[in-house]
């Protein structure tokens, strides 16, 4: 690591102020940032830890919406969302390993927007609202490509509001080495229709598979997506799978997610 200053503010307002310093960097659970620093691939002047801000932690229900503080640990979501949004809790409970789940936060994951991360698929499939210190952003507007989001520099995700679906499931096919999603599909059924979000597969990061959404909105069954082909155009091709393989997995996992949602 290169040398840096470290602050751990107690309030969102203080964190926002601290992030105005030149080359300041917000630190959530550090599950991506710390390894990046260790490899000397980033050189922030000051790390602003968000882990001391109590107002950004916790899971609560607001009518039909589940509200999760941006600084909430995956392990907490796995535990406390189970009664309200079991598919989301299951997703959180399968991120990384216990060490990761007890450090990593939902806000950190969404702000980083790793193309293979699990949470972006849940946020997008749920039509979530990303709440920051200054505004509210619809998930459809928030994810803007691999490691790219609508966040402005210094903007902090304070909470995530996820409408609770009638039925939902997330199915992840693990990349053999990292165990991130090689492909992950989150299916959520609402009164207004079905949303299907795919992570791990695209060079543009998480995306909605609209053809599957249409088919499933008409007929919510695994059979409804049979024969439906996800477009292979912008899909990732690497050592762990070709674009065609990922396209195929999107179909398989969507059907499995629908079956698991019941």
Tell me which residues touch other proteins (CB under 8 A): 1, 3, 39-40, 173, 176-179, 182, 239-242, 245, 248-249, 252
97's CB contacts (< 8 A; 6+ apart) are none
Taking the complex as a whole, how short is the minimal distance between the CB of residue 56 and other proteins, in angstroms? 28
Q: Which is nearer to other proteins, 1 or 83 (CB)?
A: 1
Taking the complex as a whole, how short is the minimal distance between the CB of residue 178 and other proteins, in angstroms? 5
3-state helix, strand, coil in the chain (%, to 5): 30, 25, 40
Interatomic CA distance for residues 218 and 212, integer angstroms: 10
Taking the complex as a whole, how short is the minimal distance between the CB of residue 76 and other proteins, in angstroms? 24
Hey, what's the torsion of the CAs at 78, 185, 144, 70, to 10 degrees? Answer: -10
Interatomic CA distance for residues 160 and 60, integer angstroms: 11
Interatomic CA distance for residues 165 and 252, integer angstroms: 22
Q: Which is nearer to other proteins, 79 or 240 (CB)?
A: 240
Taking the complex as a whole, how short is the minimal distance between the CB of residue 3 and other proteins, in angstroms? 7
Q: Which is nearer to other proteins, 115 or 165 (CB)?
A: 115
213 with 131: CB under 8 angstroms?
no
Q: Other CB atoms closer than 10 Å to residue 34's CB: what's the count?
A: 14
Q: Which is nearer to other proteins, 151 or 255 (CB)?
A: 255
Q: Which is nearer to other proteins, 162 or 183 (CB)?
A: 183
Taking the complex as a whole, how short is the minimal distance between the CB of residue 216 and other proteins, in angstroms? 19
Interatomic CA distance for residues 40 and 253, integer angstroms: 37
């Amino acid at each position: 690591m290169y040398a840096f200053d470290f602050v751990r503010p107690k309030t969102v307002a203080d964190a926002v102020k601290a992030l105005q310093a030149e080359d300041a960097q917000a630190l959530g659970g550090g599950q991506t940032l710390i390894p990046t620093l260790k490899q000397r691939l980033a050189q922030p002047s000051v790390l602003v830890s968000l882990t001391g801000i109590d107002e950004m932690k916790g899971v609560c229900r607001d009518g039909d919406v589940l509200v999760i503080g941006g600084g909430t640990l995956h392990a907490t979501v796995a535990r406390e969302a189970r009664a309200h949004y079991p598919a989301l809790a299951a997703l959180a409970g399968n991120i990384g390993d216990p060490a990761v789940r007890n450090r990593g936060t939902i806000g950190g994951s969404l702000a980083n927007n790793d193309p293979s991360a699990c949470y972006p698929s849940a946020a997008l499939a749920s039509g979530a609202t990303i709440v920051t210190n200054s505004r509210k952003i619809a998930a459809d507007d928030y994810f803007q490509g691999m490691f790219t989001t609508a966040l402005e520099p210094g903007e902090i995700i304070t909470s995530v509001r996820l409408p609770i679906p009638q039925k939902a499931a997330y199915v992840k096919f693990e990349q053999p080495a990292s165990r991130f999603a090689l492909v992950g599909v989150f299916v959520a059924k609402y009164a207004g229709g079905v949303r299907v979000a795919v992570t791990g597969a695209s060079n543009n990061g998480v995306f909605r598979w609209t053809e599957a959404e249409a088919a499933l909105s008409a007929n919510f069954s695994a059979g409804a997506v049979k024969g439906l082909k996800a477009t292979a155009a912008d899909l990732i091709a690497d050592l762990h799978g070709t674009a065609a393989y990922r396209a195929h997995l999107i179909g398989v996992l969507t059907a499995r997610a629908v079956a698991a949602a019941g």
